[in-house]
Amino acid sequence: MKIIIVGDGKVGAALAAQLSGEDHDVTIVDPNLDALNESASRLDVMVVAGNGASLPTLRSAGAEEADLVIAATSRDEMNLLACLTAKKLGVGNTIARIRNPEYADQLVEMREELGLSLTVNPEQAAAQEAYHLLQFPSFLKRDSFAKGRVEIVAIPVDKDSKLAGIPLFKLYEIAGVNALVCAVEREDGVHIPSGSFTLNAGDTIYVTAGISDLARLVKNLGLVERRVKNLLMIGGSRVALYLGKRCIESGMNVKIIEQDHKRCVELCEAMPQATVIEADGSRQDVLEAEGFEHFDAVVTLTGIDEENLVLSMLSSHVGVPKVITKINRLEYTDMFRKVGIGSIISPRGQCCTNILRYVRAMSSASGQQSVQTLHTIVDGQVEALEFLAGPETRHQGELLKNIPIQKEMLVACITHEGRTIIPKGDSSFTAGDTVIVVTSGGRTISELNDIFAD
């Protein structure tokens, strides 16, 4: 497909790298010549210097022949205008990155008039992910599928874990629920395991299970599960606002440390039930004065990745049960996670994933087989994709053990008439089912038929 990306910032550059790597014809539009030259030297993309919201610039970028325009600048109004202009030139699909929470209701009511195919709010998506992690603090990561009925959760295997030294075919004996380990991360790399794969202390496993089985899974694995009642957020960003509102609604006590006076006033007005402290949350004496070691969870939300890392390490060191770290630079994800600071959320990563899912669905030869949900796990080394099986899907009704599936791919779950099936060799799927596939190896999967080896 021919795709135009307006904005060559961190999000635009990350999207350009991903989409050009999947063989799309990508053009980046930005007024910053230095940023464009850097992207052109690193990526197989075209670049156009100029205002991405103007007709002449978009025409120069080839918008009249484009399949999709993605507006990902740092300014919401610029993104909306760029999409409106692209629509005027006949572009069929437009995506806008919109961050201001004040626009949320308007976008729902005016989406058709604005001609938007999709809007993405990175901070809201990151807050949603953080909220899910706070519901089950033992999990390092949670990704939802099948309209929330199925999840893939990341669980660390420590030296005292019931799973250490256990082959996967014995998982049911220990977990007591139908669950499937669909990926294992260890020092030598990422594995898509078979039933004979043996888990080691230090592994991180990614487990597929029904949402109704998660509490029992935690209990049977002997994971320490302390309900989060008192939450501390360091930094009063947009993520803090979205997350704070959700947590207050669920009955948590929320405290926010923010050093900007104006932002503190805004947070107090938006969340009168929260306690807002005007102070420098990066200072250890401030944290100690607020008793941060006694909180059930700490979420570090400053605008500096390195600062968030240090604050999270400090929180883990004093024994905070659940620590969540926000990062902006996607290249830091692997390094931060290896330090052992708990869970990581990335607004930019969430934004890129949501857009990529839409592009994959557009690329599919059959809309019925296209990607419904997409999550990247293990720092993008593994993808978990949900497909809707349609009339053109091959191997319907056949036993999975008899279906030739490509290497490094695994059918992790089947949802049939609302019923969650953790698949075995004698499982099968039919048209209308949703099928979750886990794949590694950097291959692009746009439809369900792509997983078959024949």
State pLDDT tens for residues 13-68: 989 998 998 889 999 999 999 999 999 999 999 999 999 999 999 999 999 999 99
Asked whether residue 364 falls in the same domain as residue 425, the answer is yes
Query: Quick check: 274 and 256 in contact, CB under 8 A?
Result: yes
pLDDT digits (tens, 9 = 90+) for 168-205: 999 999 999 999 999 999 888 889 998 899 999 999 99
pLDDT range class, residue 293, cuts 50, 70, 90: very high
CB 138 within 8 A of CB 155: yes
Tell me, yes or no, whether 275 lies in a domain.
Answer: yes
What's the total number of domains in the chain?
Answer: 3
Residue 189 placed within a domain: no
Q: 71, 97, 120 — which closes off a domain?
A: 120
Domain-located, residue 181: no
Q: Does position 277 have pLDDT exceeding 70, yes or no?
A: yes
Q: What is the mean pLDDT of the chain?
A: 90
DSSP 198: B
Are 316 and 375 found together in one domain?
A: no
Q: Which domain holds residue 261?
A: 227-320
Q: Please list, in sequence order, all residues whose beta carbon lies within 8 angstroms of the beta carbon of residue 434, skipping any fewer than 6 positions away.
A: 145, 146, 372, 386, 387, 388, 389, 414, 415
Query: 380 lies in a domain?
Result: yes
pLDDT (mean) for 207-226: 87
Single residue among 70, 91, 120 that ends a domain in this structure: 120
140 token code pair: 């390092």
* The model scores a pTM over 0.75: yes
Cα–Cα distance measured from residue 384 to residue 435, given in angstroms and rounded to the nearest whole number: 10
